[in-house]
Amino acid sequence: MYQVKRISRSEFVPIRKLDYHVRLWGAPRPGQSPLVMVHGWMDVAASYQFVVDALEQDRYVIAPDWRGFGLTGSGDADNFWMPDYLADLDFLLDHYAPDQTVDLVGHSMGGNVVMIYGGVRPTRIRRLINLEGFGMPATRPSQAAGRYAKWMDEIKALHRGDMALKAYDSADGVARRLMKTNPRLGEDKAAWLATHWARPEADGQWRILGEAAHKIVNANLYHVEEMLDIYQRITAPVLAVEASDNSMGLWYQGKYTLADYHERLKSVPNVQVGHIADAGHMLHHDQPLALARMIESFIA
């Protein structure tokens, strides 16, 4: 199994009627901004362990499990909304960095969150790093009725039990699932991640630490014009990191392309694009050393 180099500790912070689980590495240092790292969809805070281990400098790192992921509860929610992640992050920073700016990193869904947060609360961020948080394809008003109908239908399916996440017989089964999803993930990292990504229940089955309700489509359409206006309000320097594998080509089949994303990035006042070779969407697993060096260089 993967051997951890920097030991983390766990805290539970009361945030908006939830006991928010936060993983911490290191300790606060005078004159140094905390490094806040938020994970993506169906991931957990511990997922950043490999990058933290690869950092050359000891940093104070703060990584929460989003609501309904990892060890953070869901409040019995049967669907999840992007504005809640923004408010949760705001409360988190009030708790850990009330009087200072932070270096903020987000992956995938978390990357989308930090880009929005960066435009909504620009004075709270010193440096912003977006790891493959591409946003979503443009939508049309004519799609609204169908989207609401799909949202309601999926909530009904959830309550019928039709959207339950698959359970596994062992941690090894979870590890194999992780390696199937990401062929670059080695057995040692997969075995370590499995014990943080899932846990055994009373029946002996290992269940993913993520609510099935996260699979439900967002009821609201994605409005590109709103996002571009928010992007224009970001004042922190932004590093947009992409993996060598073009995941967007697989996800959207030409409906939304990497070129479209690059066009949107032109709205960000101060942005540069970084590339990680031999990596897929889970680039923090595939190339943690290269990513750590890129992050440290950018926030230096």
- Using 50, 70 and 90 to split pLDDT, how confident is the model at 170? very high
At 261, give phi and psi (nearest 5°). -60, -45
pLDDT at 283: 98
Single pTM value for the model: 0.96
pLDDT at 171: 96
DSSP the chain: ----SS--EEEEEEETTEEEEEEEES---TT---EEEE--TT--GGGGHHHHHH-SS---EEEEPPTTBTTS--TT-SS--HHHHHHHHHHHHHHH-TTS-EEEEEETHHHHHHHHHHHHSGGGEEEEEEES--------GGGHHHHHHHHHHHHHHHHHTTTPPPEESSHHHHHHHHHHH-TT--HHHHHHHHHHHEEE-TTS-EEESB-GGGGSPPSSPP-HHHHHHHHHT--S-EEEEEESS-HHHHHHTTSS-HHHHHHHHTTSSSEEEEEESS--S-HHHH-HHHHHHHHHHHH-
Q: What is the pLDDT of residues 94-145, one digit of tens each?
A: 999 999 999 999 999 999 999 999 999 999 999 999 999 999 999 999 999 9
Average pLDDT over residues 192-212: 96
Q: What is the pLDDT of residues 26-42, one digit of tens each?
A: 999 998 999 999 999 99
Average pLDDT over residues 89-98: 97
Contacts of 37 (CB under 8 A, 6+ apart): 45, 48, 51, 61, 62, 63, 105, 106, 107
Share of the chain above pLDDT 90, in %: 99
pLDDT at 66: 98
How far is Cα 112 from Cα 226, in angstroms, rounded to an integer?
13
- Using 50, 70 and 90 to split pLDDT, how confident is the model at 220? very high
pLDDT at 162: 95
Average pLDDT over residues 62-84: 97
Q: What is the pLDDT of residues 203-217, one digit of tens each?
A: 999 999 999 999 999
pLDDT at 13: 98
- Using 50, 70 and 90 to split pLDDT, how confident is the model at 269? very high
